[in-house]
Amino acid sequence: MSTTIAQRVEAIRKYLADNNLDAFLLPTADPHLGEYQPENAHRVTWLSGFHGENCMVVITKDTAGIFVDGRFTVQVKQQVPADIFQYLHINNDCHLNWTMDNLSAGARIAVDASLFGISWYKNAEKAFTGKGFEIVSLQENPVDLFWEDRPAAPSSAIELFQNAGQSSVEKRHLLAKRLQEKELDATLLTQPEDTNWLVNIRGSDIPYVRSVLSFGLFKNNGELELFIDTARLPEGFADHAGEGVNVYDITALFSVLPEKISADQRIQLDPAQTNAGLFNLLHDAGVSVVEDMNLCARARVCKNEKEIEGMKAAHIQDGIAMCRFLAWVDREVEAGNPNDEETLAAKLLEFRQGVEGFIAPSFPSISALGSNAAIVHYNHDPKNCRKLGSDGMYLIDSGGHYNNANGVSGTTDITRTIKVGNATDEERRMVTLVMRSHISLASARFMPGTTGVQLDTVTRQPMWKEGFNFDHGTGHGIGHFLSVHEFPPRINPSNNCGAMEPGMCVTNEPGFYKEDGFGIRLENVEVVREVTGTAASMLELEAITYTPFDKRLLVAEQMRDDEIEWLNNYHAQVFEKIAPSLNKQDKTWLEQATSPLTRG
Amino acid sequence: MSTTIAQRVEAIRKYLADNNLDAFLLPTADPHLGEYQPENAHRVTWLSGFHGENCMVVITKDTAGIFVDGRFTVQVKQQVPADIFQYLHINNDCHLNWTMDNLSAGARIAVDASLFGISWYKNAEKAFTGKGFEIVSLQENPVDLFWEDRPAAPSSAIELFQNAGQSSVEKRHLLAKRLQEKELDATLLTQPEDTNWLVNIRGSDIPYVRSVLSFGLFKNNGELELFIDTARLPEGFADHAGEGVNVYDITALFSVLPEKISADQRIQLDPAQTNAGLFNLLHDAGVSVVEDMNLCARARVCKNEKEIEGMKAAHIQDGIAMCRFLAWVDREVEAGNPNDEETLAAKLLEFRQGVEGFIAPSFPSISALGSNAAIVHYNHDPKNCRKLGSDGMYLIDSGGHYNNANGVSGTTDITRTIKVGNATDEERRMVTLVMRSHISLASARFMPGTTGVQLDTVTRQPMWKEGFNFDHGTGHGIGHFLSVHEFPPRINPSNNCGAMEPGMCVTNEPGFYKEDGFGIRLENVEVVREVTGTAASMLELEAITYTPFDKRLLVAEQMRDDEIEWLNNYHAQVFEKIAPSLNKQDKTWLEQATSPLTRG
């Protein structure tokens, strides 16, 4: 392994020397800057051996560094040869300064700008040129020149999506109006979720996301210039998408896009979602670039009635699988069978695969026993993980994509923390507090205009009153058979992305983590809807996840009447929706799991 | 009256003609742009006869307009002659457009820039020049040339304030550090509250505020250039303020300030608090103007221990007066005496005047019976107002300034809504909801960094859950024997002014208003303090107002256990603090008023 890595690093160094360059910076990213990348974009892995996320590699003529975050400090040492790479921390060590410290004045630092965000590029350019270095934006990625067994580009089947509830023509008509209102000529679409939503297609080009990789330039006359793998477009696509969609092969993006824009245009892009290569292209063409939050996403995330129906149907299917799984876990615990985090996660996937409409997991499950649950982003090692038997609690955070012709269509994300042994008083107290925070948001009502930052504070009140907090956001948007993380909305302490609007789907997932002790998270998906019949206009959140919370971990005496009432009403609804699909044994389990919580 | 007004308007028109000008714009403001103005700044009243707030007068060669807000649409017709002025609405009618519509192209529009804010001036300049008009910044205010019986400038005694808890030298040392951190050479102080706080003086130059009018240029070496009425500075001022305070007469501000600044300096000012005349002066001198929130205010509003002790002592005095008043009202209602809104307000002032340390009211009392309380900014007419007898509820919003050598030192602001007749079920339901919203904030805890916008949402949850809202902020900062409205903090739905910090004093005043029906507001002052002994750092609000809420208007069955517990604890504290200072009759009343609220 180390020999191969050494050869690859040397190949890059030769490229640098041949091209009068002194360093090369490579991040784990593809040109969409999304959460997941296709295999042919795993350049960091090819070059360093590292398989984790959120990494930056720096190669100079005589040294190399790999920057990873706290989740990967152990893993990097196992995967990346220490004789070639220096291990560094991506937050504590500044990779820009480290690069410059290892170069002589005047050095030329090469990057593939299409893999970096705009703000990174601007910062790097300022830092480098400010100290007499030069940043060189390459026209090719040197890794691609030497990567012999590089995986092919994604080739998933493109589906003409039938459960959208709105035609592409109609969506484009409404979005064009928004552009006109803002006096924009066009908006640049860099997120596959946007282009896929806009022309009503789906695919599986990258893990856990139901999209086909593509870019778009959407114009204020309703036309879309769509950059996609044209060879894969199925018969009937033109009719399905309707008039005004012009397709080009995605590989021609950087050559064709300049022909579609002109210096007199105002084009909006989202600086957080656009790579510096595209930004530089627009900038060089003299376009007036308007940096603003993704306009297409703002339309997309407010789901229509058909999409909300599909989400609810998907959550009923998911609830059936979850209830079967939780009933099974109780039986396994009772029987004393030594399941571990891996077999538990596998069994849940099996239950999901057993319900109609299930397509794929929406993200890697977090299956964590005991103290492992205190690691928020815990990723169990299938060969060496905790077993049932010695821990009081088990945390399972998972979800699925669902889609079929019966109107089941959507994406789920659920976390439950359940009793699998002797839970301590401290554990039960903290589960009760997290439950109360969950209910605080679930039962909130708010005026139009209220933001996720405001709702985050409402959520945390029960925990804050007892002096506890959790160090992650309360919730994120969730897509409609697209991606499990959608932006906007966000419910968190600071990242304000505008008001909560009807039709948005969002998770409600407060937690509590005691290092080396235990971890708790209780998560439902909720949809924002209007309250009817009140004096002032109000919005509220309707829970569309249908799975019981574990009452055995709740201390009723530490809950308020209205909180117990919320929980009992929720559980009654879960029973009503899920019971008809369960066998007798599981139905009996659900009856008990959803029976009213009472005091004393 | 009308003849005089006509003569004055004609004098301005002659001035315009003599100076080749076509229009003159005059707002109700002085150069500090504060809430209240001294009498010699009441130019709008002199010119138009109008006595209200928030007004703009426009005089052209052949027409005149007066722009007022919704509170004054009736009053303006009574006070301002219709044959001279056209009545307009300051929000619905754009005074800039109206001015231009009444002028010919190329007209020259005159203003006294020292009476306008920066953003108004920039907008007006853009609007006027964009349509071919010219804005002319006058060196003199024409009203002052013709105002023969103009009142003298304020002449209140300047007090060397002893209850500050921190010397001027120390305050300036700390503030200088903040400037150095921000790489600022100086900050421009335009609010008398800041200059008065910084050199530890007080006065009463303008109504309801305990300050001496003054400006300052505070430098990063700790020196203050203080512009003030030097003739009034008392003996010992130099020793009291300490080294580094250089005084100049306030009338010389515009001539001396240019000598104190230079083109190589970075000077911070708060654009919301600085007049355009001063801004233009700095701009013309080539200074790098840094527009940022008032730095001195951020230090001032976080009160030190001595200031907080003073505030608490002042609130005990105020509580004694309030309890005596409320007990008296109950007796008067019982006796059937026909007090009206004016006699009630006068009696409360009499009770305040009867306690040690009382100096003056901190704002005009709102004394409102029945449906009058539905008008948020109600101002009763002493000669024609509602009487006790036919209404169920009475709202009294009032406050005082307190100061003496025994450490009583601070400002109060309290609103109570009390039963004075047959309250309806609807009224009791809404009082209970407002009380629950008040308690929601009063019992909140929050992480450092939490803003007033976030806390506003926590406050409103009880009302929002039932579909009700109130159309004003939840709370404002309150000064320490300075002004009753202090910024920051603000607790409201949108106006974000940073995090809540320990030592800030803030009001908690949710309400509910039913037009032509009734009005409710329940207001305490609270101080932000750190919670001790919790796992995560937390802040909370300690109520420092000591006066019972009227239990007779609360429906215990509609309150949660924890809310009733908060109220009973609060009332126990009120009794403990106030009872020792009451006579037997009033103590009996307080005992009953603060006895525990119970259900059924």
Do the Cβ atoms of B334 and B421 come closer than 8 Å?
no
pLDDT for the residue A70: 86
Q: Does domain A159-300 have CATH number 3.40.350.10?
A: yes
pLDDT for the residue B2: 59
Indicate the fold that domain B2-146 takes in CATH: Creatine Amidinohydrolase; Chain A, domain 1 (3.40.350)
The answer on pLDDT for A151 being more than 70 is yes
Contact flag B464-A443 (C-beta cutoff 8 Å):
no
Q: What is the DSSP string of A2-56?
A: HHHHHHHHHHHHHHHHHTT--EEEEES--TT--S---GGG-HHHHHH----SS-E
Radius of gyration from C-alpha coordinates of chain B: 25
Could you list the pLDDT tens digit for every one of the 600 residues in chain B?
457 999 999 999 999 999 999 999 999 999 999 999 999 999 999 999 999 999 999 999 999 999 999 889 999 999 999 999 999 999 889 999 999 999 999 999 999 999 999 999 999 999 999 999 999 999 999 999 999 999 999 999 999 999 999 999 999 999 999 999 999 999 999 999 999 999 999 999 999 999 999 999 999 999 999 999 999 999 999 999 999 999 999 999 999 999 999 999 999 999 999 999 999 999 999 999 999 999 999 999 999 999 999 999 999 999 999 999 999 999 999 999 999 999 999 999 999 999 999 999 999 999 999 999 999 989 999 999 999 999 999 999 999 999 999 989 999 999 999 999 999 999 999 999 999 999 999 999 999 999 999 999 999 999 999 999 999 999 999 999 999 999 999 999 997 889 999 999 999 999 999 999 999 999 999 999 999 999 999 999 999 999 999 999 999 999 999 999 999 999 999 999 999 999 999 999 999 999 999 997
Instruction: Indicate if the alpha-carbon torsion angle B70, B74, B78, B82 is positive or negative.
Output: positive
The answer on pLDDT for A485 being more than 90 is yes
User: Which of A426, A454, A472 is the best mutation test for B, with the most CBs of B within 10 A?
Assistant: A454
Strand partners, A266: A288
Contact flag B538-A467 (C-beta cutoff 8 Å):
yes
Task: Quote the CA–CA distance of B435 and B433 in Å, as a whole number.
Answer: 5
The answer to whether A231 contacts chain B (CB < 8 Å) is no
Q: SS in 3 state form for A82-121?
A: CCCCEEEECCCCCHHHHHHHCCCCCCEEEECHHHCEHHHH
Cα A196-A197-A199 angle, rounded to 5 deg? 70
Task: Quote the CA–CA distance of A294 and A218 in Å, as a whole number.
Answer: 12
The answer on pLDDT for A508 being more than 80 is yes
Tell me the average pLDDT across A94-109.
96
Q: Residue A536 is nearest to which of B447, B457, B468, comparing CB atoms?
A: B468
Q: In chain B, which among 544-583 make CB contacts under 8 A with chain A?
A: 560-562
Is this complex scored with an ipTM above 0.95?
no
Closest C-alpha among A143, A470, A67, A473 to residue B535: A470
Strand partners, A475: A491
Contact flag B561-A561 (C-beta cutoff 8 Å):
yes
The structure tokens listed for B119 are 């953003």
Instruction: Indicate if the alpha-carbon torsion angle B270, B272, B275, B279 is positive or negative.
Output: positive
Strand ranges for B449-509 from DSSP E: 475-477, 486-491, 505-508
Pick the CATH number of A305-593 from 3.40.50.11030, 3.30.565.10, 3.90.230.10, 3.40.50.800: 3.90.230.10
Distances in whole angstroms, Cα of residue A308 to Cα of each of A476, A483, A544:
17, 15, 9
Nearest chain B Cα distance for residue A98, angstroms:
27
Among all residues of chain A, which has the CA nearest to that of B466? A534
Tell me the average pLDDT across A304-312.
98
pLDDT for the residue B170: 98
The answer to whether B536 contacts chain A (CB < 8 Å) is yes
For B37-71, what is each residue's pLDDT tens digit? 999 999 999 999 999 999 999 999 999 999 999 88
For A417-427, what is each residue's pLDDT tens digit? 999 999 999 99
- For chain B, the domains span 2-146, 159-299, 305-593
Q: What phi and psi values does residue A253 have, to the nearest 5 degrees?
A: -50, -55
The answer to whether A531 contacts chain B (CB < 8 Å) is yes
Tell me the average pLDDT across A8-15.
97
The answer to whether B126 contacts chain A (CB < 8 Å) is no
Nearest chain B Cα distance for residue A457, angstroms:
6
Strand partners, B393: B419
Give contacts of A469 with chain B, Cβ < 8 Å. Answer: 447, 535-536
Contact flag A561-B562 (C-beta cutoff 8 Å):
no
Instruction: Indicate if the alpha-carbon torsion angle A118, A124, A126, A132 is positive or negative.
Output: negative
Tell me the average pLDDT across A68-84.
93
Strand partners, A241: none
The SS3 call for residue B561 is helix
The structure tokens listed for B301 are 């509003």
Domain A2-146 identical in fold to domain A305-593: no
Nearest chain B Cα distance for residue A459, angstroms:
9
Q: Does domain B159-299 have CATH number 1.10.10.10?
A: no
For B300-337, what is each residue's pLDDT tens digit? 999 999 999 999 999 999 999 999 999 999 999 999 99
The answer to whether B453 contacts chain A (CB < 8 Å) is yes
Rounded to two decimals, the pTM is 0.94
User: What is the count of residue pairs from A and B with beta carbons less than 8 Å apart?
Assistant: 86
**CA B211 centroid distance within chain:** 13
pLDDT category, A2, cuts 50, 70, 90? low
Do the Cβ atoms of A260 and A225 come closer than 8 Å?
yes
Average pLDDT in chain A = 97
Nearest chain A Cα distance for residue B467, angstroms:
5
Among all residues of chain B, which has the CA nearest to that of A459? B458
The answer to whether B173 contacts chain A (CB < 8 Å) is no
Tell me the average pLDDT across A575-587.
98
pLDDT for the residue A496: 82
Do the Cβ atoms of A483 and B494 come closer than 8 Å?
no
Among all residues of chain B, which has the CA nearest to that of A491? B454
Give contacts of A499 with chain B, Cβ < 8 Å. Answer: none
Q: Residue A457 is nearest to which of B450, B465, B534, comparing CB atoms?
A: B450
Nearest chain A Cα distance for residue B518, angstroms:
16
